[in-house]
């Protein structure tokens, strides 16, 4: 009973910690995610070791719940109306950025001497962004125009594209390790992607039909939460990508439901406590010794991801014939990276524990840095292209 009491006390303390970070985030330039990761590191094993040891199964449960909610909310941003206005540009720039970023990070790390398997997985994780932080900056600056609208569309598609890239890289690593034959790896990757698309669609259609038929309040929250949990559980049971399945379900609901925003508001109302636990525990998992051992791999990941963002955005903008200045600023605006990247790293640890011990410290450390400086560059980019309130447009 004492162990249970300690865990419950710790969970209560972490919830209150989330409240403190929310207040600090409103009065400081630091995003809440950065504060949670930092606090988690401070109270974790590498800090003052105040946080009691959490069972891996509990951490996996909490992280899965948080990430399936994130996936659902990301899917809710993929409306047909927004894609009709900037769909071609969004798809082109997003696809280009995903491919270029993954390739530059993966091959660049290989040239730096990082093991091939680790380089491939980090390459698959690198394209992931942070839609929440980006949307917050756009809302804060009251930015309006094609650049900001394209930016919001790209960060949503980037996570979907990043998931696909990560799954393909994961399948390639399994092939390199000899875990299965080529046919089995290809079928496994196809099932993980295709199965997630099918599952998300099959659950999204009835959820869209039910949305708006249940009165607002607790019944609606139970409906939304039940469907999101059902999607995540079935995806894990069927061994398909639960983040992608939730994302597809969210996209189906937002485009088919009569009152399409209600279930997303219900999830937003309960999501934060799970995110608090997820990010704090992720920060606590950061081990300085492991990060120090990663050395050049960590520094290389930071530099190569920035380079991939810049070159990918420039190439995608060139294909769409965007102005040169906007091509560079789009890359800088896409630097934030948070929940989905951490989720991929944790999936890598679950599937390949020996590699995960290297990948998780790198991704957690990089997330802290990108969440610290990324929103600043996003704000700067919106101002330099002239779409933030009270700024002048730069065309050269």
Dump pLDDT digits (tens) for 61-73: 777 787 788 778 7
* Averaged pLDDT of the chain: 76
- At residue 168, the pLDDT reads 82
pLDDT at 355 over 80: no
pLDDT digits (tens, 9 = 90+) for 210-244: 776 655 545 567 777 888 889 989 998 888 878 78
- At residue 395, the pLDDT reads 43
State the SS3 of the chain: CHHHHHHHHHHHHHHHHHHHHHHHHHHCCCCHHHHHHHHHHHHCCCCCCCCCCCCHHHHHHHHHHHHHHHHHHHHCCCCHHHHHHHHHHHHHHHHHHHHHHHHHHHHHHHHCCCCHHHHHHHHHHCCCCCHHHHHHHHHHHCCCCHHHHHHHHHHHHHHHHHHHHHHHHHHHHHHHCCCCCHHHHHHHHHHHHHHHHHHHHHHHHHHHHHCCCCCCCHHHHHHHHHHHHHHHHHHHHHCCCHHHHHHHHHHHHHHHCCCCCHHHHHHHHHHHHHHHHHHHHHHHCCCHHHHHHHCHHHHHHHHHHHHHHHHHHHHHHHHCCCCHHHHHHHHHHCCCCCHHHHHHHHHHHHHCHHHHHHHHHHHHHHHHHHHHHHHHHHHHHHHHCCCCCCCCCCCC
- At residue 396, the pLDDT reads 42
pTM score of the predicted model = 0.72
pLDDT at 278 over 90: no
Segment among 171-180, 258-267, 271-280 with least mean pLDDT: 258-267
pLDDT at 207 over 60: yes
pLDDT at 89 over 70: yes
- At residue 304, the pLDDT reads 93
pLDDT digits (tens, 9 = 90+) for 91-133: 888 888 889 999 999 999 989 888 888 889 899 898 888 776 6
- At residue 308, the pLDDT reads 92
pLDDT digits (tens, 9 = 90+) for 283-333: 776 666 666 666 777 888 999 999 999 998 889 888 877 777 777 888 888
- At residue 79, the pLDDT reads 74
Give the domains, in start order, of the chain with CATH numbers.
Answer: 59-384 (1.20.1530.20)
pLDDT at 364 over 60: yes
pLDDT at 164 over 90: no
- At residue 114, the pLDDT reads 85
Q: In the predicted model, what is the mean pLDDT of residues 271-279?
A: 75
- At residue 196, the pLDDT reads 87
pLDDT band at 393 (very low <50, low <70, confident <90, very high): very low
């Amino acid at each position: 009973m004492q162990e249970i009491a300690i865990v419950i006390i710790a969970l209560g303390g972490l919830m209150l910690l989330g409240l403190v970070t929310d207040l600090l985030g409103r009065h400081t330039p630091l995003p809440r995610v950065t504060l949670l990761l930092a606090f988690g590191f401070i109270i974790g094993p590498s800090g003052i070791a105040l946080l009691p040891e959490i069972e891996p199964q509990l951490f996996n449960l909490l992280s899965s719940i948080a990430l399936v909610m994130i996936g659902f909310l990301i899917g809710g941003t993929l409306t047909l109306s927004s894609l009709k206005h900037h769909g071609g540009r969004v798809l082109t720039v997003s696809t280009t950025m995903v491919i270029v970023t993954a390739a530059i990070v993966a091959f660049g790390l290989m040239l730096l001497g990082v093991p091939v398997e680790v380089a491939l997985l980090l390459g698959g994780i690198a394209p992931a962004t942070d839609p929440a932080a980006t949307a917050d900056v756009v809302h804060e600056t009251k930015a309006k125009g094609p650049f900001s609208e394209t930016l919001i569309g790209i960060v949503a598609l980037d996570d979907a594209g990043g998931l696909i890239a990560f799954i393909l890289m994961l399948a390639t690593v399994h092939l390199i390790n000899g875990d299965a034959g080529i046919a089995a790896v290809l079928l496994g990757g196809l099932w993980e992607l295709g199965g997630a698309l099918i599952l998300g669609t099959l659950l999204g259609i009835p959820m869209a039909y039910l949305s708006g038929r249940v009165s607002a309040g607790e019944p609606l929250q139970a409906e939304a939460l039940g469907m999101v949990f059902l999607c995540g559980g079935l995806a894990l049971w069927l061994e398909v990508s639960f983040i992608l399945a939730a994302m597809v379900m969210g996209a189906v609901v937002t485009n088919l439901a009569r009152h399409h925003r209600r279930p997303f508001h219900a999830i937003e109302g309960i999501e934060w406590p799970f995110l608090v636990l997820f990010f704090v525990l992720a920060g606590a998992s950061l081990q300085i010794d492991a990060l120090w051992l990663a050395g050049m791999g960590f520094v290389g990941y930071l530099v190569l991801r920035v380079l991939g963002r810049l070159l990918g955005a420039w190439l995608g903008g060139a294909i769409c014939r965007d102005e040169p200045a906007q091509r560079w600023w789009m890359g800088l605006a896409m630097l934030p990276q948070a929940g989905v990247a951490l989720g991929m790293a944790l999936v890598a640890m679950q599937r390949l524990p020996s590699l995960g011990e290297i990948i998780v410290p790198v991704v957690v450390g990089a997330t802290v840095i990108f969440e610290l400086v990324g929103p600043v560059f996003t704000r700067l980019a919106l101002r330099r292209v002239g779409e933030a309130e009270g700024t002048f447009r730069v065309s050269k």
